[in-house]
Structure 1
Amino acid sequence: MVFRSENSFTKLADKFFGDRARRRLSDYYDMGQKLQQAMINIPPDVYVATQMLFSIALAAFGLILGAIVAIIVYFFVEIPTFDIYFPEPFLSFWLAYRKIFISLFLAVFLGVLFFMIGQFIFAIYPGYVASDRKSKIDRLMPNAVMFMYSLSSGGMPLIQIFKSIASYEDVYNELAKEFSRIVLEIEELGHDLVTTLTKAVELTPSKNLADLLQGLITIIESGGDFTSYFRERSDYYLEMARQDQKSFLEFLSLMGESYITAFVAGPLFLIIIQTVMAVMGESDVMLLYAVVYMIIPVGAFFFAFIIKLLTPVEVGKAPVIQEKHVLRREIDEDVMKKWNSWKMRKKLNPKELFIENPPAVFLISIPLAVAFALFGIMQYTFSPTIDWFFLVDDNIFISIVIALLPYAVVYQINKRRTGMVLKFTPVFLNRIASMNESGMNITRAIRTLAKTDTTPLRKEIEKINRDLEWNISLVDALIRFANRLRTFELTRTTILLVESLRSTPNVTEILRISAKDASNAELLRRERIKNMSMYVMIIYISFFVFIGIVYIISTTFLSVLAESTSKVAAAGGGFMSMGSIDEEFYKGIFMHAAVFQGLFAGLVAGVMGEGDFSSGVKHSLIMLIFAYVLFTVFI
């Protein structure tokens, strides 16, 4: 929706309906609160006027659509008669003009319906945006409070702490916007800190942030210690984050049970029923097609998509942090050419191109997969029948493996490397803090670790040391470290560290705080993966149950049914009419059911286990290959 601030449409709406909305301004107090919580920069009267204009425009569209439907109904649809009795002359009048009445009713109904939809969209939109902002703010509270604790321990004033968080909007997102509003109120509007914080408590959609700000007001008025308060709150919000994560895992448990019931047990039941019905000569092949080619893949995909939308994880790469000290000078043209040539070679290096950017591997794998599929398909004359699909399905399934396998490999390599760095970053920071506490400066400590460290982080430590040897500042060396990986956890920890290092000489304490922040992020990540892995196992178990039953039906049940029907036919009938069983047809259908179940159950496992579709590709390949080999080799 584009109505986040005033534009030409809102101005037009204000011109036509603004006066009407302003006469009832007192009725829109709650709306105004929601707009401010959602940070929709439109006055409530203008928003209501825009709601009216948008609804009228939508109603006009509905009337036009209704008129088209009315014309179709009037000229091309035969309306059945109903047993409705009116006294004369109403009955004759109704029979003569009922098409006109029904057509007009449809046109008016669609117009009114679209008008109500417009009203409803604008009514719920601020609440939806505010709720989305609340979840984003709450997710960042543990790290943000640790950030404030670190800066406060260095003696930074409270308003400067707010400005520091507000300056990293691309990292702290909606939380940074809240503090930007506080800074704006103080610096631009001249309000005092207590008044501004009191107003922020009312306007923020997050109860957690409101509680934090309310506590700050108490500290300011009583002259308490900010540093102690932030330290206590950081532990509290970490525990809150763990509780929220636990609640989400309980929700996942319910969704996992729903998935197994709806998209594993349900299709399996329908497949068995249709097989039995085939023996009785009452089979509906189209229903079987719908189960295998629609319900299993489409249902599982949309289920995974819904879980993905509800999963509170950050997607994509973290933003690049701007280096603080950049030397700008004229560079020799030959040196610049060599530099550009080196950068191009680095970008084209397979490690740089694929490991650092896994989707790039599709540039190779997808053309190969398409070529392989087309080669197999062209061996057979096309026919819009299931028999033609049975001929080419091998090439299609193998081409899916060709397309996805390279991506799954490079993605897992990249993810494992990132996971190792996140795991050992707290250890790295604590070791530097210990060395610094014993009298060694940070640069020398990093140089020592670059030579002696044996963890998977050693290569990154060597790169940091190399930057320091080239006289790059410690702050920029750490920023480059974060920019190489671009994970949100490491980026926020690095921001905490570099901002704190510039605000205090107490380096050891800052390193300890940064290590604790990294440990907290790693703790939440590992707890989430550990607990969610249980649901991955549930998906695997349900898949193997599905494929096991389908395998038994294909190898035992079908052959017995085929033999029974042939005996009945040879005997001249029986107590019921029995249909013949096309054994190869059902084996082919069951193989497709198993393959599609594996392919899309893998995506569900990835989303439930690790929070994204990419992590599910490896599960999809494992299940797909297992199902395909089972049906092609052992059946």
Structure 2
Amino acid sequence: MSWANYVPLVIALVIALPVVLSPISVYADRIVTRFSLIFFGNYISQRGRKRTLRKQLLRAAHIPTTYRTYAAKTAFFTGVAAIVGSILGMYFIWLGLAILAVDAETIRAVFPPDLHFLTNFVGLPTISVFELFALMAVTSLTLGVSFAGAVYWYRWWYPEYRGDERERRIEASLPRTIAFIYALSRSGMEFPKVMRILAEHQHIYGESAEEIHVAVRNMDMFGQDMITAIHTMARRSPSSQFKEFAENLASVLQSGRSLSEFLHQQYRDFQEEAEAQQEKLLDLLATLAEAYVTVLVAGPLFLITILVVLGIAVGDTLDPLRVFVYVILPCANLIFILYLLSATDTLTSTRGYENVEAPVDGLAGVRLADPAQTDGGRDATASVAAEYDESANVARLDAYRRFRSLRSILGNPLRTVVEQPLSLLWVTVPLAALIVLVRLPGVIDAGVLNVREFDDLLIQASLFVIGTFAIAFEVHRRRAEAIEAAVPDLLDRLASVNEAGMTVVESIDRVRRSELGALDTEMDRVWADIRWGSDIETALRRFEARMRTKIISRVVAITTKAMNASGDLATVLRIAASQAKADRRLKRARRQEMVTYMVVVYLAFFVFLFIVVVLSIVLIPSLPDGGTGTALNATSGGVAGPGAQNVPAVGGVGQTGSIDKDEYILVFFHTTIIQGLLSGLVAGQLSSGDIRTGAKHAAILIALAYATFIVLIPGP
């Protein structure tokens, strides 16, 4: 084939490369944006379907670009997709014609007898040049339009999808956000300052704080007054609940009504709404759990049984069974897990943690004072180089900053694993891979891999990785739950002591002497920081950095900001305690409901394992070893006696196919391991809303399936 045949394909790659690289490369994105505006910028500015609606979608999704740029890039991407699809269409029809040109004798010589039916579809008919041109034109046009339509649809579907995701997250975090605003407003702080503080804590309060950031930005950068900024924020928000709250808030601020009473009522209303939303979510999870058991546990079990029976009756069905077990079943479970993640992402959310010592890095460029000008017990006439080696100290400080994070991780590995369980995988995964590589020669016999021994090796390594992570995460989870359980009591006691007239420092000293459960040691450390000269805000920030939990972050944020407004923290602490108790109550109710779904998944897996084991130890071993034999002659209507002539079964019914027993049992073994892993992840996601909890269940189910096959079926 001539190199000229590949010129269109090279052109398609060159055209598509900047578009593919634009999401990850700034330079490619600039090139694409420039060409998009050159080709389609004027057209988008003058025309455009659904312009107002699409502008609102882009703003609601917080996509950082203008409508003109996004629409122009969409048109450019659509055009590129049409060109690439048309070029690929020519190669598609060329490949189809090349396949049809294969003669029947070649297929019979190359493919096994089971695939000889393909000879019925080959044989290139004689076509004219005009017919060939028309066929290529239709194929290119079809693929080009399909590619362009898919790209155009995706580009305008993505802002809507992202806006819907933000709406769910805003409404999930709205009760905590309103509680924060209510607490700070009761402390006497001006409302614009409350909004600015909330905008600074997006890492704690999530998407609702990001919406407040829109109003703060409009006030600080564009000079809008507070009421106009709140109205603008309401129009841009994708959440109807947040929009209603913002509009009511603006009305209260304009009318002069009591802001505290309004926020208190809104907090109660949205807390009730959160309980109603949780009920809906629990109903959804109940439906999903039933669907999972029916479709992805009972369904596969039924299909596997049917394939085994067909294999016994008409022939080998091992290949379809392998495709189902190794491809279809994992993909279906992964799709279900991804859907569960999107449905339960409001139950748990991760966030980054501020580095308390980070402000020190801002002093790196500050020139150090001349030691000769200071009174530090040094001789002012002495040489600066002799008394104070500035360059050496700066080098030490730079080295400390460079290796501070590594020292924090390696200095106390146990604390690192407890606080960040995922960091354990950086050790266990390479260690498990090394063990597999070291033991791999032992499972190779005469140059042939022993599949059963290799399975043992992989399963043991997987159990090591999953089990150690499950233990670390369980310790981390129990620690977080113990802290969350102690926080409401801590806040109530601090509020009571503060109401008695004590200052914040005196309140901490008094409360730390009482029994606080998981917070006893940490409150002693907070008091130690204060005694050693740290201010109360820095001590609380260090406390937050050590705890690394969302509830502690919210408490510290409310307390530190309220202290700057007023010394009377009792009301603020009461509000924070009420919010913490409400969160605990919702979480406890959710856990009680979800335990039922977890039990359902366990029972479904036990049934699955029981049926597979019965097939492996009862049905498969009772079959003949090979060939085909007459299993039943009832179709003849007679009885086969001594000297009687056996009548073959009609249509092959009653014949047993030749099957490989060991291979079927091996596939059953792999099925239980795969199902155990995926069912464990599903059980964790259903029980807690966090897939990491599923590591514990996956380790238990895999170990159970592995031990069952080892004890009952020594072969695999």
TM-score by length of 2: 0.79
Q: Which residue of the partner structure matches residue 125 of structure 1?
A: 158
| Superposition map of 1:23-102 within 5 A | 23-24=46-47, 28-78=51-101, 97-102=130-135
Partners of 2:423 and 2:223 in 1: CA distance: 51
| Partners of 1:15 and 1:248 in 2: CA distance | 48
Once the two structures are superposed, residues 243-286 of structure 1 have per-residue CA deviations (whole angstroms, 9 ceiling, x without a partner) of 22221222222222222222211221122223323332423111
- How do residues 272-421 of structure 1 correspond to structure 2 at under 5 angstroms? 272-313=305-346, 314-320=348-354, 322=356, 333=393, 344=407, 347-381=410-444, 388-421=450-483
The 3 A distance-change label for structure 1 pair 54 and 632 is same
Q: 1:51, 1:119 within 8 Å by CA — same for their partners in 2? A: yes
- Match for 1:552: what amino acid? V
SS of equivalent residue, structure 2 residue 188: coil
Q: Following the alignment from structure 1 to structure 2, what is the Cα–Cα distance between the partners of residues 262 and 51? A: 39
Secondary structure in structure 2 of the residue aligned to 1:378: helix
The aligned amino acid for 1:222 is S
Partner of 2:377: none
**Larger Rg: 1 or 2?**
2
Determine if contact 1:182/1:196 at 8 Å carries over to the other structure.
Answer: yes
d(CA) in 2 for partners of 1:567 and 1:368?
A: 53
CA contact (8 A) 1:377 1:392 kept: yes
Of 478, 486, 489, which aligns to 2:548?
486
Q: Cα 1:444–1:383, aligned 2, differ >3 Å: closer, same or farther?
A: farther
Instruction: Tell me, yes or no, if structure 1 residue 104 matches structure 2 residue 133.
Output: no
Q: Deviations over 1:560-613 (max 9, x none)?
A: 455999995999977522246654443333222222211211111112222233
Does structure 2 conserve the Cα–Cα contact (< 8 Å) formed by 1:323 and 1:479? no
Within 2, Cα distance between the matches of 1:514 and 1:404?
Answer: 37
Instruction: Give yes or no for contact 1:55–1:118 (8 Å, CA) kept in 2.
Output: yes
Aligned-residue offset at 1:153? 0.5
Moved more, 622-631 or 436-445: 436-445
Could you tell me which residue of structure 1 aligns to residue 217 of structure 2? 184
- Cα deviation, 1:148-198, whole Å, max 9, x if unaligned, reads 101110222222221121222333343333223223333444434333333
Aligned equivalent of 1:614: 692
* 1:496 alignment partner, SS class: helix
Structure 2 counterpart of 1:473: 535
Task: Tell me, yes or no, if the aligned pair for 1:489 and 1:521 is still in contact at 8 Å.
Answer: no
Residues 290-316 of structure 1: CA deviation (Å, up to 9, x unaligned): 233223333223321221133223443
Distance in structure 1 (CA, Å) of the matches to 2:73 and 2:400: 57
Are 2:660 and 1:603 equivalent residues in the alignment? no
Matched, 1:534 2:568: no
- 1:473 & 1:392 partners in 2: Cα distance? 60
Shift, 1:381, TM fit: 3.3
CA contact (8 A) 1:74 1:103 kept: no
Report the secondary structure of 2:63's partner residue: coil
CA distance 1:31–1:425, shift in 2 (3 Å): same
Counterpart in the other structure of 2:520: 458
Question: Measured at CA, do residues 175 and 11 of structure 1 come closer, stay the same or move farther in structure 2, by a change above 3 Å?
Answer: farther
2:184–2:562 CA contact under 8 A, matched in 1 = yes
1:161-180 to 2 correspondences below 5 Å: 161-180=194-213
Deviation at 1:97, TM superposition (A): 3.7
**Per-residue displacement from partner, 1:92-144 (whole Å, max 9, x unpaired)?**
99766433322221112222222222321232233222222212221211111
| Residues 76, 209 of structure 1: alpha-carbon distance in 2 compared, 3 angstrom cutoff | same
Alpha-carbon contact 1:201-1:214 (below 8 Å) kept: yes
Q: 1:595 to 1:125 in 2, by over 3 A?
A: closer
The reply to whether residue 520 of structure 1 matches residue 582 of structure 2 is: yes
2:563: which partner in 1? 501
Other-structure match for 2:231:
198
Distance 1:543 1:213 in 2: 48
Name the residue aligned to 1:86. Answer: none
CA distance in 2, matches of 1:69, 1:288: 31
Q: Bigger CA drift: 188-197 or 421-430?
A: 188-197
Residues 465-524 of structure 1: per-residue CA shift (max 9 Å, x gap) = 221222212222222222223233332232122212222221111211221222233233
Check whether the contact 1:153–1:227 (CA below 8 A) recurs between aligned residues.
yes
Residues matched between the structures, number: 622
Cα displacement (A) at 1:346: 6.7
Q: State the shift of 1:433 in Å.
A: 1.5
Shift of the 296–535 alpha-carbon distance from structure 1 to 2, 3 Å rule, reads same
Structure 1 40/326 Cα, relative in aligned 2: closer, same or farther at 3 Å? closer
Question: In the TM superposition, what is the alpha-carbon distance from 1:342 to its structure 2 partner?
Answer: 12
Residue pair 2:684, 2:694 contacting (<8 A) in 1 also: yes
Give the Cα separation in 1 of the matches to 2:224 and 2:631: 93
- Is the Cα–Cα contact under 8 Å of residues 324 and 475 in structure 1 kept in the other structure? no
Residue 656 (structure 2) pairs with residue 578 (structure 1): yes
Instruction: Give the AA of the match of 1:54.
Output: F
Distance 1:445 1:342 in 2: 33
Deviation at 1:403, TM superposition (A): 2.0
Distance 1:98 1:15 in 2: 39
Segments of structure 2 that go 5 or more residues without pairing to the other structure are 1-21, 104-124, 370-389, 633-639
CA distance in 2, matches of 1:325, 1:100: 69
> Which amino acid letter does the alignment assign opposite residue 78 of structure 2?
S
* Alpha-carbon distance, 1:423 to partner: 1.5
Q: What letter matches 2:251 in structure 1?
A: T
CA gap 1:139/1:318 in 2 versus in 1, 3 angstroms: farther
Identity %: 25
Whether contact under 8 Å (2:498, 2:568) holds in the other structure is no
Q: Tell me the SS of whatever aligns to 1:318.
A: coil
Kindly provide the amino acid, as one letter, of the partner of residue 503 in structure 1: A
Offset of residue 545 of structure 1: 0.9
Q: Secondary structure at the match of 2:461?
A: helix
SS of equivalent to 2:354: coil
Are positions 1:152 and 2:214 aligned together? no
- 1:369 maps to a residue whose letter is A
Question: 2:348 matched to 1:270?
Answer: no
How far is 1:438 from its partner? 2.7
When structure 1 is superposed on structure 2, of 564-573 and 613-622 the one drifting more is: 564-573
CA contact (8 A) 1:263 1:295 kept: no
Superposed CA offset, 1:400-429 (max 9, x none): 112222111111111111111111111111
Q: Are residue 445 (structure 1) and residue 482 (structure 2) matched?
A: no
Deviations 1:322-381 (A, max 9, x none): 579979799995997999899837733331332222223234322442344345442243
Partner of 2:280: 247
TM-score, length of structure 1 as denominator length: 0.88
Cross-structure match for 1:83? none
1:325–1:476: 8 Å Cα contact kept in structure 2? no
What is the 5 A alignment of 1:223-262? 223-262=256-295
Kept in 1: contact 2:497–2:507 (CA 8 A): yes
Aligned residue number for residue 634 of structure 1: 712
**Alignment correspondent of 1:426:** 488
Question: Among 419, 423, 435, which residue is 2:497 paired with?
Answer: 435
CA contact (8 A) 1:74 1:100 kept: no
Structure 1 SS opposite 2:442? coil
Separation in 2, partners of 1:368, 1:255: 37
State the Cα RMSD in Å. 3.5
Instruction: Label 1:50 to 1:585 Cα distance change in 2 as closer, same or farther (>3 A).
Output: closer
* Counterparts in 2 of 1:343 and 1:11: CA distance versus 1, 3 Å: closer
Structure 2: distance between partners of 1:577 and 1:325:
80
Structure 2 matches for 1:554-573, cutoff 5 A? 554-561=616-623
